[in-house]
A and B are shown apart, each in its own frame.
Chain A
Amino acid sequence: MNFLNPEFQIIRDKDRCIKCGACVRQCSYEVHVSDKDTGELYTNDINCVACHRCTSICPTRTLTVKKNESVYRESANWTSDYINQIFRQAETGGVLLSGMSNPQPYPIYWDKILLNASQVTNPSIDPLREPMETRTYIGAKPDKIEFDSNGKLKTKMPPQVKLEMPIMFSAMSFGSISLNAQKSLAAAAQQCGTLFNTGEGGLHEELMPYKDCAIVQVASGRFGVSKEYLDMGRIIEIKIGQGAKPGIGGHLPGEKINEDVSKTRMIPIGTDAISPAPHHDIYSIEDLRQLVYSLKEATNYQKPVSVKIAAVHNSAAIASGIARAGADIIVLDGFRGGTGAAPVRIRDNVGIPIELALAAVDERLRSESLRSKVSLIAAGSFRNSADVVKGIALGADAVYIASAALIAMGCHMCRQCHTGKCNWGIATQRSDLVKRLNPEIMSQRAANLLTAWNHEIKEMLGGMGINSIDSLRGNRLMLRGIGLSQKELDILGIKHAGE
């Protein structure tokens, strides 16, 4: 007997169904079953994760996924989620795992911030008629630029990386997502003049053509890290933490370590790839400094070194330490950021919203005159171009997106990444599933998303009477809070609407 009440119900319109069996073949969760003898189709609702592969593939649109109408007795305290989770733990004795981002109804500050527009006293600018610039350079900046007596540039600029738009693809390793998914992101980044991030999984040889738009990550497991790997990336990113699971490491189970993954990660086939919670050579800020400079030495000071941390209570002080430790870029990852797998309790309870962390970190770096020494990248979770505009006005140089990019490629946010059964060919290494994702088509969709957002950003900038993203960065006067307490406004450093 299974105590669990199915979360979803599949409704099959028998009048429409032509019994082609596509749903049966497509569902890796084995929700759809065909009777061997009669050819009749049945559903195992309990297995359904609402990934909508079947409803999308069905040629006659026969299928509907609904919330199960059969409910537990309602309680505001004992919700069906909590009851189901207890059933699952009682069955297995294990830590609950999930994929993707924190689904809990915590405040989303992006939705409580409004943007400004010009009226009368200064004109709005039409991006179709006037130049509208979203180019951004990331990397440490000197305090000042000096020229010699002949007017020649004397200051040697630290390594800079040009982004044609202030949006990059966040770290998703080969292992957590498929090679086809990575290829799609890499090609989209190249097409749009921005960067993708290898995550902690090495750089697969098929991604070499895209190395000029790769951020190569060095995380606690050091998987795939070699001199060649470091030399290939445009930016080297030290991953200390991830917004979806601050304070813990990662675990890619042995069954996902096939030949390809094993080669790229530089570990034997079938062994678990375990990223420890801390880096075992970084137990303090001075240790971080050593790693930052080791990586700079290894690459001859040609590449910016980035340090990524999860947004936690003390982010501002930590970020100040990171800037002083010599990092060129700080990445802040908020608690709504996605993941390929995280313990549910960690994902849902640890960390803080990116909006608050970003505002606090930017303000702290400015008050210590450190802000121009580092670029600040915000992540977790930017859902649309307005979120991006608000993030930059709060103080980010650029943002990372990941979930949004995966959604562009078919992800329906079913949060089953950790199972490796992704029907969309994204979060899986099963070759039959991976081949469903066509990198040519999907890279174009991801590129389209970036292009669309960039257009929208330009429209919003123009409305504010701004024609360069430079003048939006940290321009908090363009923001107003709606329905926020004075404390929240103070932390965000913005006024309330109407003020």
Chain B
Amino acid sequence: MLKEGQVRIPSGCAIAAIMDKQAKPFSGSEIIKSIALMRDRSNGLGGGFAAYGIYPEYKECFALHIFYDNNQAKTLAEEFLNNHFDIKMCGVIPTKPTAGIKNSPKIWRYFALPNKIRLNSSGKNEDEYTARCVIRINSSIPGAYVFSSGKNMGAFKAVGFPEEVGEFYMLDEYKAYLWTAHGRFPTNTPGWWGGAHPFTLLNWSIVHNGEISSYDANRRYVEMFGYKCNLQTDTEVITYLFDLLVRKQGLSLETAAKVLTAPDWDIIDAMEQEEKEKYTALRATYSGALINGPFSIILGFDGGLVALNDRLKLRALMAAEDKEKIYFASEESAIRVVCPNPDTLWSVEGGTPVVAKVRG
């Protein structure tokens, strides 16, 4: 059986997110409870979480979470890391034996700063330098897979149901101001931990429910800008699209979202002249970044998240606010199980991004 990256595997899913707008950290038990309610939407073949604000003591360092299939992969990857980074701290990511989680790879964590000499001679900024190093490890060291590479944030994922994954990584002991979660229902059996979600690149993390029909158009578009879609997954290509549009090209998150789920031409035609020119230029230029087919995504980043539904609203995604917290989930019940009576609750509209940022 081919694993993820060697074959394209479509999958359905459950997603959820909770954020505190004052950036007050809270335990992972709440998000586990929320995603656990949607067990029917997963099939035990992948679950995961992204947590922001969990490593305040190393917040200057890139936190690299790596799966190793074997010792040789670890040796090669560490040699590469030592050449390219100054490792401030490293160790095994603590886990506990959990029913349902089997065949665990070695899971290591490195708090790393780019090697100054190499960084300077590369002519890149530290984000680009680190992103390239991550892509290099993932594409050239067999058996090593960097599954998280942001600062003061981390992804935790495995093959299993999401609530089991949460228990396995003991996420109730971490405190984050933003949590996202994913339960996976692949229509194939990859059985590979790297293929579980969230997918991350630097501070981006993405959880996604859907199967995009524009995949190959999007893939071939981002690959023109130096990305390599190794995993052949929707989440991977959507993350790269955001990274390209926001980090590399300087569009705002809202504008980037409007590129991915562009307004219909008849809506653009009816706009005032200036807006019309703007959206026509965006659609004509970024036609390869338009995402088609059903999807709901939650994109986490340093200081907030974007929730986005496809243009036709072909996937469920609910949102709610209660005092300082904002909630998202594929199903309303998954919000109400942790927040029974929110101040407001609504269905995220198709093609209309909801951007939530922490204050200050």
| 7 contacting pairs across A/B (C-beta < 8 A) | A137-B283, A139-B284, A366-B223, A470-B217, A471-B217, A475-B216, A477-B216
Kindly report which residue of chain A lies nearest to residue B265, judged by CB atoms: A135
**A466 lies within 8 A of B249 (CB):** no
Q: Quick one: CB contact mask for A136-166 with B, threshold 8 Å, 1 for yes?
A: 0101011111110000110101001000000
By CB atoms of chain A within 10 A, which of B218, B265, B291 has the most? B265
Kindly report which residue of chain B lies nearest to residue A369, judged by CB atoms: B224
Say if the beta carbon of A125 comes within 8 Å of chain B.
yes
**B312 lies within 8 A of A473 (CB):** no
Say yes or no: A474-B288 contact (C-beta < 8 A), given A131-B264, A133-B265.
Answer: yes
Residue among B215, B274, B281, B288 making CB contact with A372, cutoff 8 Å = B288
**A137 lies within 8 A of B8 (CB):** no
In whole angstroms, how far apart are the Cα atoms of A353 and B212 in the complex? 31
Secondary structure dominating the interface of A: loop
Give B contacts to A, CB under 8 Å: 8, 10-12, 187, 210-218, 220-221, 223-225, 249-251, 255, 262, 264-266, 274, 277-278, 280-288, 290-294, 311-312, 314
Say yes or no: A144-B187 contact (C-beta < 8 A), given A130-B312, A372-B285, A467-B312.
Answer: no
**B284 lies within 8 A of A157 (CB):** yes
**A468 lies within 8 A of B292 (CB):** yes
Say if the beta carbon of A49 comes within 8 Å of chain B.
no
**A152 lies within 8 A of B274 (CB):** yes
In whole angstroms, how far apart are the Cα atoms of A145 and B289 in the complex? 13
Residue among A133, A139, A144, A464 making CB contact with B213, cutoff 8 Å = A464
In whole angstroms, how far apart are the Cα atoms of A470 and B286 in the complex? 9
A-B contact count (CB 8 A): 120
**A160 lies within 8 A of B284 (CB):** yes
**B290 lies within 8 A of A471 (CB):** yes
In whole angstroms, how far apart are the Cα atoms of A472 and B311 in the complex? 16
Chain A hits for B10, CB < 8 A = 121-122
Kindly report which residue of chain B lies nearest to residue A499, judged by CB atoms: B7
In whole angstroms, how far apart are the Cα atoms of A144 and B288 in the complex? 12
Chain B hits for A152, CB < 8 A = 274, 278
Say if the beta carbon of A410 comes within 8 Å of chain B.
no
Say yes or no: A476-B216 contact (C-beta < 8 A), given A123-B314, A144-B249, A467-B292.
Answer: yes
Residue among B211, B216, B282 making CB contact with A121, cutoff 8 Å = B211
Chain B hits for A118, CB < 8 A = 213, 293
Q: How many residues of A contact B (CB 8 A)?
A: 41
Residue among A125, A131, A144 making CB contact with B266, cutoff 8 Å = A131
Residue among B8, B265, B286 making CB contact with A145, cutoff 8 Å = B286
**B217 lies within 8 A of A473 (CB):** yes
Say if the beta carbon of A371 comes within 8 Å of chain B.
yes
Chain B hits for A477, CB < 8 A = 8, 215-216
Say if the beta carbon of A276 comes within 8 Å of chain B.
no
Say if the beta carbon of A65 comes within 8 Å of chain B.
no
Residue among B8, B277, B287 making CB contact with A153, cutoff 8 Å = B277
**B285 lies within 8 A of A471 (CB):** no
**A474 lies within 8 A of B220 (CB):** yes
By CB atoms of chain B within 10 A, which of A133, A160, A471 has the most? A471
Nearest-CB distance from A492 to chain B (Å)? 13
Residue among A121, A143, A153, A468 making CB contact with B187, cutoff 8 Å = A121
Chain A hits for B11, CB < 8 A = 121
Nearest-CB distance from A349 to chain B (Å)? 33
In whole angstroms, how far apart are the Cα atoms of A467 and B263 in the complex? 12
**B293 lies within 8 A of A465 (CB):** yes
Kindly report which residue of chain A lies nearest to residue B254, judged by CB atoms: A151
Say yes or no: A122-B285 contact (C-beta < 8 A), given A131-B266, A133-B264, A152-B274.
Answer: no
**A465 lies within 8 A of B290 (CB):** no
Kindly report which residue of chain A lies nearest to residue B312, judged by CB atoms: A130
Say if the beta carbon of A115 comes within 8 Å of chain B.
no
By CB atoms of chain A within 10 A, which of B274, B284, B291, B312 has the most? B284
Residue among B12, B210, B214, B255 making CB contact with A475, cutoff 8 Å = B214
In whole angstroms, how far apart are the Cα atoms of A11 and B344 in the complex? 81
Q: Quick one: CB contact mask for A369-386 with B, threshold 8 Å, 1 for yes?
A: 101100000000000000
**A145 lies within 8 A of B282 (CB):** yes
**A153 lies within 8 A of B278 (CB):** yes
Chain A hits for B249, CB < 8 A = 143-145
Chain A hits for B287, CB < 8 A = 137, 470, 473
Say if the beta carbon of A484 comes within 8 Å of chain B.
no
Chain B hits for A248, CB < 8 A = none
Nearest-CB distance from A213 to chain B (Å)? 18
Say if the beta carbon of A478 comes within 8 Å of chain B.
yes
Chain A hits for B218, CB < 8 A = 471
A155-B281, A475-B214, A475-B216 known, 7 other contacts, Cβ within 8 Å? A118-B293, A131-B266, A133-B265, A160-B284, A465-B294, A471-B213, A475-B217
Chain B hits for A123, CB < 8 A = 294, 314
Chain A hits for B282, CB < 8 A = 145
**B266 lies within 8 A of A465 (CB):** no
In whole angstroms, how far apart are the Cα atoms of A369 and B12 in the complex? 33
**A475 lies within 8 A of B251 (CB):** no
In whole angstroms, how far apart are the Cα atoms of A137 and B212 in the complex? 23
